[in-house]
């Protein structure tokens, strides 16, 4: 090891309290200055770290040939230095070695340490050596690491010139397919968002950024989605969902390189698709977290990992760190939008307001979506998207945020900010009014549906996301709908309702896969029940093959009705990967921690707890293969094409109809007896009525909507058309217009039809 500066650790040395503290900046130069900033032309790098304000000394160690884990000779020597105290010199303690070099960082005050002009090689490894007041030595990775080959090892110098962007018209705002937060010609607004949520490890068997381009081709070819939302790719140990990220700036190397992610995003832009990046500001993952040793970044454990110190002592640069992460994804990877995971779990509305303020200032076209789970109060649920009337100048807004946090810290005030400013938020309320009746068919609440449709315009609407699929038994919407149709919960084994549901889901998924692959028709009644009972069907229960097939058709119709409902409410809309072709492969939570296999060998309680909660094994090597999109290979793909045609026909109508994109709801109609709901939309020039039958009754030329609006109407879409897999109860062949006194509508169960006022 080569020492570039002789520094004798002095046990009595203390931080110089007269060091001038940095003044307010938060300009782009400051945002870009953190971490290791590599200048390719000079072959040198600047380093900037936030650590504990009373840290005695900080070094950066550069290792061109260093090991990838923390555990080599330097740790032992550093510990020895700490024990020996002031009499020991680093230079005397270390034998000459060409593998690594150590450089001191200058104390700038407030816990900020910097070094400039350090010679490095491209992709060289580095880490920080922290020596505190009692001479304890911690060796940590960079919290701003932008390239992290090992979650428990050295950080790596990142070269930002690793990709040349091709679709420059998109980036320069010349491509009319691009969606921005405040549209001006030719760019579009968020009402044009139809999002497909995707998980890189499962959209292809390879599970990489490179292979995901083939899925982008499919999304673009179908012409349904206008955007893809990528589950987080923050660095973790394994391929997984991505919500366990511990390196908030670094790309998960199991999926590919930063350059390959840029290429994927650029490729999607070339296909006319906007890209939304999911990021996690509410917790650190449980594996590879060194932040508590690095500085005052954390405040303690939470549900999913350590929570961040956004409003405790020394919080400012922690908030800046997370804001810089958002700016990094927006600026470096040219994403069009950012979705923030479980913003309510951040426990800091000031942090959320700062995220919005910083991104709006430095990347004003990038739109922001919150997964806001605080739904008890309509005010707290809605305030996240109120912004402009509270907006100050960038500098004054951040000063207001700093002052507000300081007041909370010193107990001078408990006020939280109004108008956080997100452009949209996930609509949990609407999702639950659609999802819950599928598992509890007698709980359909038409009043809740009505209320949530009225209040959903600015929110991102969805039937099921990755969470409702993967965290609740791993089955898709149609399979969940099949369970009550066959009363499988009451027919399945289990010690409680959760276990019975999980068993029922396994039986339902098994039945679906047997039907799709053609094995179901070849099975005898005895074999059907033998295998079903092996999975968990009670010994005294029996299933009717005919009823199973009828129930499956009903379940598929319910999935299409739920998708149709969200697609016909103005504002942003979203579906999960494969829902547009009714892919019924499971999607399960999966991950592998660095010590997972070793722990599992002794029945690790955490792993067993997860299995009990979800009903399946979450280990990556088991759950990921079961979650690959298109895993089930049906012998008859008719239903796939019917679903594609349904979604394409519906979204084509939405895309050319302003009332369905950004119109206002004029009125709604509730038919409690038949479980039918209608909402009437207008954009000032045209009116549309969307009728949704959540009931199980066929109406043959005899259904009438109570309080049907004035005027003459015609059918422009019917989800029950035979080309969509329906029974053919349509109204488009009528010779006379539909009026209040001449309705007589055909209306199939679990179907959606749209009327236009002539």
Under the banding of pLDDT at 50, 70 and 90, the label for residue 628 is very high
Q: What pLDDT is attached to residue 12?
A: 30
The top-scoring range by mean pLDDT among 65-79, 123-137, 247-261 is: 247-261
Under the banding of pLDDT at 50, 70 and 90, the label for residue 374 is confident
Contact between residue 325 and residue 357 where contact means Cβ atoms under 8 Å apart? no
At residue 370, the 3 state secondary structure works out as strand
Which residues, 6+ apart, have CB-to-CB distance to 748 below 8 Å?
557, 693, 698, 699, 720, 726, 727, 729
* Whole-number Cα distances in Å, 625 to 83, 178, 239, 336, 515: 50, 34, 11, 30, 20
In a domain, 651, yes or no: no
Contact between residue 753 and residue 716 where contact means Cβ atoms under 8 Å apart? no
At residue 8, the 3 state secondary structure works out as strand
Q: What pLDDT is attached to residue 72?
A: 53
Beta bridge partners of 57: 131
Q: What pLDDT is attached to residue 205?
A: 97
Distance of alpha carbon 21 from alpha carbon 39, whole angstroms: 27
Q: What pLDDT is attached to residue 393?
A: 86
Q: With a cut of 60, say whether residue 68 has pLDDT above it.
A: no
Provide the b/e sequence for 660-687 (b: ≥16 CB within 10 Å): bbbbebeebbebeebbbbbbbbbbeeeb
Q: Measure CA 119 to chain center.
A: 38
Span 573-584, average pLDDT: 97
DSSP string covering 637-665: -HHHHHHHHHHHHHHHHHHT-HHHHH-EE
DSSP string covering 298-358: EEEE-SSSEEE-SSSTT-HHHHHHHHHHHHHHHHHS--SEEEETTGGGG--HHHHHHHHHH
Q: With a cut of 60, say whether residue 31 has pLDDT above it.
A: yes
- Percent of the chain with pLDDT strictly greater than 90: 75
Q: What pLDDT is attached to residue 168?
A: 96
Sheet with 106-109, side-by-side order of all strands: 35-39, 44-50, 112-119, 106-109
* Whole-number Cα distances in Å, 360 to 53, 180, 210, 366, 394: 30, 11, 31, 7, 9
End residue of a domain, out of 137, 156, 175: 156
Please give the backbone phi and psi of residue 636, each rounded to the nearest 5 degrees, phi first.
Answer: -120, 110
Per-residue model confidence as pLDDT tens digits over 712-729: 999 999 999 999 999 999
Under the banding of pLDDT at 50, 70 and 90, the label for residue 75 is low
Q: With a cut of 70, say whether residue 9 has pLDDT above it.
A: no
In a domain, 151, yes or no: yes
**CATH of residue 686:** 2.60.40.1180
Span 342-354, average pLDDT: 94
Q: What pLDDT is attached to residue 93?
A: 43
Contact between residue 474 and residue 614 where contact means Cβ atoms under 8 Å apart? yes
Per-residue model confidence as pLDDT tens digits over 541-566: 999 999 999 999 999 999 999 999 99
The CA-CA-CA angle for residues 366, 372, 374, to 5°, reads 155
Q: Measure CA 676 to chain center.
A: 33
At residue 691, the 3 state secondary structure works out as strand
At residue 61, the 3 state secondary structure works out as strand
Q: Are strands 44-50 and 227-230 parallel, antiparallel or unpaired?
A: unpaired
Q: Which domain holds residue 688?
A: 657-757
Distance of alpha carbon 564 from alpha carbon 549, whole angstroms: 23
Joined together, the tokens standing for residue 30 give 């400051």
CB atoms within 10 A of CB 585: 24
Q: With a cut of 70, say whether residue 660 has pLDDT above it.
A: yes
**CATH of residue 147:** 2.60.40.10
| Crossing angle of the two packed helices 525-535 and 497-516, in degrees rounded to 10 | 140
Range of weakest confidence among 389-393, 466-470, 677-681: 389-393
Q: What pLDDT is attached to residue 201?
A: 98
Beta bridge partners of 104: 59
Span 669-685, average pLDDT: 94
Q: What pLDDT is attached to residue 76?
A: 54
DSSP string covering 116-182: EEEE--TT-EEEEEEE-TT--EEEE--TT-S--SSTTS-EE---S-S-----HHHHTT--TT-B-SS
Q: What is the pTM of this model?
A: 0.93
Contact between residue 142 and residue 36 where contact means Cβ atoms under 8 Å apart? yes
Q: Which of 74, 164, 205, 55 is nearest to 127 (CA)?
A: 74
DSSP string covering 520-542: GGG--HHHHHHHHHHHTB-TT--
Span 462-471, average pLDDT: 96
Per-residue model confidence as pLDDT tens digits over 94-132: 444 567 788 889 999 999 999 999 999 888 999 998 988
Under the banding of pLDDT at 50, 70 and 90, the label for residue 380 is very low
Q: Which of 403, 417, 619, 614 is nearest to 506 (CA)?
A: 614
Contact between residue 176 and residue 409 where contact means Cβ atoms under 8 Å apart? no
At residue 424, the 3 state secondary structure works out as strand
Residue 59's H or E segment, with its range, is: strand 57-63
Torsion angle defined by CA atoms of residues 111, 114, 120 and 124, in that order, rounded to the nearest 10 degrees: 10
Distance of alpha carbon 650 from alpha carbon 563, whole angstroms: 10
Q: What pLDDT is attached to residue 548?
A: 97
Distance of alpha carbon 72 from alpha carbon 559, whole angstroms: 56
Distance of alpha carbon 130 from alpha carbon 113, whole angstroms: 11
Q: With a cut of 90, say whether residue 19 has pLDDT above it.
A: no
C-alpha atoms less than 13 angstroms from C-alpha of 211 in its C-beta half-sphere: 15
End residue of a domain, out of 128, 156, 184: 156
In a domain, 556, yes or no: no
Q: Name residue, tokens 């390239």.
A: 147
Mean pLDDT of the chain: 89
The CA-CA-CA angle for residues 164, 170, 171, to 5°, reads 60
Q: What pLDDT is attached to residue 21?
A: 44
Span 175-190, average pLDDT: 93
In a domain, 679, yes or no: yes
Q: With a cut of 80, say whether residue 610 has pLDDT above it.
A: no
Say how many domains are in the chain.
Answer: 2
Q: What pLDDT is attached to residue 122?
A: 85
Under the banding of pLDDT at 50, 70 and 90, the label for residue 523 is very high
CB atoms within 10 A of CB 332: 18
Q: What pLDDT is attached to residue 83?
A: 58
Under the banding of pLDDT at 50, 70 and 90, the label for residue 382 is very low
For the chain, helix, strand, coil in percent to 5 are 35, 20, 45
Contact between residue 246 and residue 230 where contact means Cβ atoms under 8 Å apart? no
Please give the backbone phi and psi of residue 114, each rounded to the nearest 5 degrees, phi first.
Answer: -135, 150
Q: Which of 242, 348, 159, 131 is nearest to 590 (CA)?
A: 242
In a domain, 347, yes or no: no
Q: With a cut of 70, say whether residue 219 has pLDDT above it.
A: yes
Which residues, 6+ apart, have CB-to-CB distance to 550 below 8 Å?
none
Distance of alpha carbon 34 from alpha carbon 59, whole angstroms: 15
Q: Are strands 57-63 and 125-131 parallel, antiparallel or unpaired?
A: antiparallel
Q: Measure CA 523 to chain center.
A: 41
Q: With a cut of 80, say whether residue 584 has pLDDT above it.
A: yes
In a domain, 603, yes or no: no
Q: Are strands 424-425 and 367-370 parallel, antiparallel or unpaired?
A: parallel
Torsion angle defined by CA atoms of residues 317, 318, 323 and 324, in that order, rounded to the nearest 10 degrees: 70
In a domain, 488, yes or no: no
Instruction: Output DSSP code: residue 744.
Output: -
At residue 719, the 3 state secondary structure works out as coil
Q: What pLDDT is attached to residue 467?
A: 96
Per-residue model confidence as pLDDT tens digits over 132-163: 888 778 889 999 999 999 999 999 999 999 99
Q: With a cut of 90, say whether residue 18 has pLDDT above it.
A: no
Instruction: Output DSSP code: residue 364.
Output: T
Q: With a cut of 60, say whether residue 349 has pLDDT above it.
A: yes
Joined together, the tokens standing for residue 669 give 């109609």
Span 431-443, average pLDDT: 81
* Whole-number Cα distances in Å, 183 to 192, 623, 640: 11, 41, 35
Q: What pLDDT is attached to residue 436?
A: 83
Q: What pLDDT is attached to residue 10?
A: 32
Under the banding of pLDDT at 50, 70 and 90, the label for residue 417 is confident
In a domain, 737, yes or no: yes
At residue 226, the 3 state secondary structure works out as coil
End residue of a domain, out of 156, 180, 198: 156
Q: What pLDDT is attached to residue 420?
A: 86
Residue predicted with more confidence, 146 or 376: 146
């Amino acid at each position: 090891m080569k020492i570039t500066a002789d520094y004798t650790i002095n046990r009595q040395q203390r931080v110089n309290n007269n060091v001038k503290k940095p003044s307010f900046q938060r300009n782009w130069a400051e945002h870009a200055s953190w971490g290791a900033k590599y200048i390719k032309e000079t072959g040198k790098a600047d380093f900037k770290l936030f650590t504990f304000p009373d840290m005695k000394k900080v070094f950066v160690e550069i290792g061109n040939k260093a090991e990838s884990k923390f555990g080599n000779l330097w740790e032992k020597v550093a510990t020895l230095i700490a024990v020996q105290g002031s009499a020991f010199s680093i230079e005397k303690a270390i034998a000459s070695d060409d593998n690594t070099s150590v450089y001191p960082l200058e104390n700038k005050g407030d816990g900020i340490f910097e070094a400039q002009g350090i010679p490095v090689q491209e992709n060289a490894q580095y880490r920080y050596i922290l020596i505190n007041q009692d001479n304890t030595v911690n060796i940590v990775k960079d919290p701003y690491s932008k390239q992290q080959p090992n979650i428990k090892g050295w950080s790596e110098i990142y070269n930002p010139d690793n990709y040349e962007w091709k679709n420059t018209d998109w980036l320069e705002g010349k491509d009319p397919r691009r969606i921005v937060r405040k549209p001006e010609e030719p760019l579009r607004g968020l009402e044009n968002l139809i999002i497909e949520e995707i998980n890189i490890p499962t959209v292809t068997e390879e599970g990489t950024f490179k292979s995901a381009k083939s899925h982008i081709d499919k999304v673009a070819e179908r012409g349904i989605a206008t955007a893809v939302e990528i589950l987080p790719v923050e660095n973790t140990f394994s391929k997984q969902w991505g919500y366990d990220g511990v390196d908030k700036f670094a790309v998960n190397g199991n999926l590919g390189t930063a350059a390959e992610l840029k290429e994927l995003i650029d490729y999607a832009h070339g296909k006319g698709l906007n890209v939304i990046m999911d990021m996690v500001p509410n917790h650190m993952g449980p594996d590879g977290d060194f932040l508590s040793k690095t500085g005052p970044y954390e405040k303690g454990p939470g549900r999913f990992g350590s929570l961040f110190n956004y409003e405790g002592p020394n919080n400012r640069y922690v908030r800046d760190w997370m804001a810089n992460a958002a700016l990094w994804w927006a600026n470096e990877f040219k994403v069009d939008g950012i979705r923030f995971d479980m913003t309510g779990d951040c426990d800091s509305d000031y942090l959320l307001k700062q995220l919005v303020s910083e991104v709006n200032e430095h990347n004003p076209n990038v739109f922001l979506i919150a997964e806001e789970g605080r739904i008890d109060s309509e005010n707290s649920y809605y305030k996240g998207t109120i912004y402009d009337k509270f907006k100050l100048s960038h500098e004054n807004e951040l000063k207001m945020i700093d002052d507000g946090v300081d007041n909370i810290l010193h107990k001078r005030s408990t006020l939280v900010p109004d108008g956080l400013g997100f452009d949209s938020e996930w609509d949990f309320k609407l999702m639950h009014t659609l999802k819950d009746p599928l598992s509890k068919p007698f709980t359909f609440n038409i009043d809740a549906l009505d209320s949530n449709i009225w209040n959903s315009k600015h929110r991102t609407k969805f039937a099921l996301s990755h969470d409702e699929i993967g965290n609740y038994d791993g089955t898709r919407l149609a399979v969940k709908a099949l369970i009550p149709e066959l009363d499988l919960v009451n027919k399945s084994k289990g010690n409680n309702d959760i276990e019975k549901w999980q068993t029922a889901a396994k039986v339902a998924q098994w039945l679906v896969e047997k039907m799709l692959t053609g094995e179901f028709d070849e099975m005898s009644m005895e074999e059907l029940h033998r295998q079903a009972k092996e999975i968990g069907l009670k010994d005294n229960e029996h299933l009717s093959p005919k009823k199973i097939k009828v129930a499956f058709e009903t379940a598929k119709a319910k999935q299409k009705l739920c998708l149709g409902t969200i697609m016909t409410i103005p504002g942003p809309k979203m579906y999960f990967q494969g829902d547009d072709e009714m892919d019924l492969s499971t999607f399960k939570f999966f991950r592998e921690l660095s010590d997972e296999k070793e722990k599992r060998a002794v029945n690790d309680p955490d792993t067993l707890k997860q299995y009990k909660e979800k009903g399946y094994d979450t280990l990556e090597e088991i759950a990921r293969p079961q979650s690959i999109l298109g895993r089930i290979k049906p012998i008859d793909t008719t239903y796939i094409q019917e679903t594609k045609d349904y979604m394409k026909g519906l979204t084509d109508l939405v895309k050319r109809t302003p009332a369905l994109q950004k119109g206002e709801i004029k009125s709604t109609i509730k038919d409690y007896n038949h479980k039918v709901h209608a909402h009437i939309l207008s954009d000032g020039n045209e009116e549309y009525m969307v009728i949704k039958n959540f009931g199980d009754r066929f109406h043959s030329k005899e259904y009438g909507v109570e309080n049907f609006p004035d005027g003459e109407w015609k059918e422009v879409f019917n989800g029950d058309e035979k080309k969509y897999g329906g029974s053919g109860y349509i109204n488009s062949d009528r010779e006379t217009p539909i009026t209040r006194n001449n309705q007589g509508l055909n209306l199939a169960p679990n179907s959606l039809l749209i009327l236009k006022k002539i």
